[in-house]
Amino acid sequence: MHESPNEFCVSRRKLLTWAIASGASAALVSDAAPAEANIFMPSIAEQKKLGAQAAQQILKKYRELHDSRAIRFKQIGYNLVSALSPEDRRTWNFSFHVIESKQVNAFALPGGPMFMYTGLMDRLTNNSQIAGVTGHEMAHVRLQHWAKSYANEQERSLGLSLLLGLTHASSIVQKLASVGDSLYTLHYSRHDERQADEYGLANMVAAGYNPEGMIELFMVLEKMSSSQPPAFLSDHPLTTARIADVRRLIREKYSQDLHRPMAGIHG
């Protein structure tokens, strides 16, 4: 049984937390890790397994659409995949799903599964805007931003635990510390967001889309944030500097591509 769209008001972080609690955490257990690797960072295989398990949980719980919007999203998504390097195409398991929800949101899970809510899809007026958000989310996957954030959180948590253990903190102090610890929820840093913008922009241009689509996407989100900030912005804060960075990249690298139709070269 599917819940109403209004009940699907959760962020990418909450979905991952919920999925891990539902059993996907087994994906984070590895037999061995290379000596030079960060022992806290999930491997690519683990990221793909976790993402696949989380995606299955989401698709069991919520309604996936298979209408013209879903077809359009898949077509744009796979156009972007086709423009990636052979290594990226081999490494990641990208898939594209449209979820019925009034929430303005989109996210990619570790490994490649991506979800677009109709609340966002229906506000985007051309393929280049859709390519902008899709390329951005795919870049988070390719750059392993979630895995790196997870590793940093585990290192920080271990440090806090060691500190509390060494100082023989009382149970009250430990409880207070755990509350403070909850403030450090996994999220993308400003550096992560700028990186995802840069890589996503390059990907959408390589796939034949107009780079102005990413700016138009930002404008849609910025207009909405003045009244009720979209859920997408809770994980992807939109700043003046971030918009300026993308405008600079377009001016310096992709100005010759601004003549392209907003539907993209391939439609």
SS3 per-residue string spanning 56-71: HHHHHHCCEECCHHHH
The range of the structural domain enclosing residue 204 comes to 5-146+187-257
CA 113 to chain centre: 10
Flag whether 215 is in a domain. yes
The band of 153, judged by pLDDT with boundaries at 50, 70 and 90, is: confident
Provide the number of structural domains found in the chain: 1
The band of 73, judged by pLDDT with boundaries at 50, 70 and 90, is: very high
Give the pLDDT score at 171. 45
Contact criterion met (CB below 8 Å) for 105 and 232: yes
Q: 12-16, 114-118, 165-169 — which is least confidently predicted?
A: 165-169
Flag whether 23 is in a domain. yes
The residue written with tokens 């700016």 in the block is 215
Give the pLDDT score at 240. 82
Say which residue, 13 or 205, is predicted with more confidence.
205
Residue 195 has pLDDT above 50, yes or no: yes
Flag whether 160 is in a domain. no
Could you tell me the two tokens for 183? 């403030």
Q: 70-74, 86-90, 237-241 — which is least confidently predicted?
A: 237-241
**At 145, which helix (H) or strand (E)?**
helix 145-166
Segments of 109-243 assigned E as strands: 113-117
Flag whether 51 is in a domain. yes
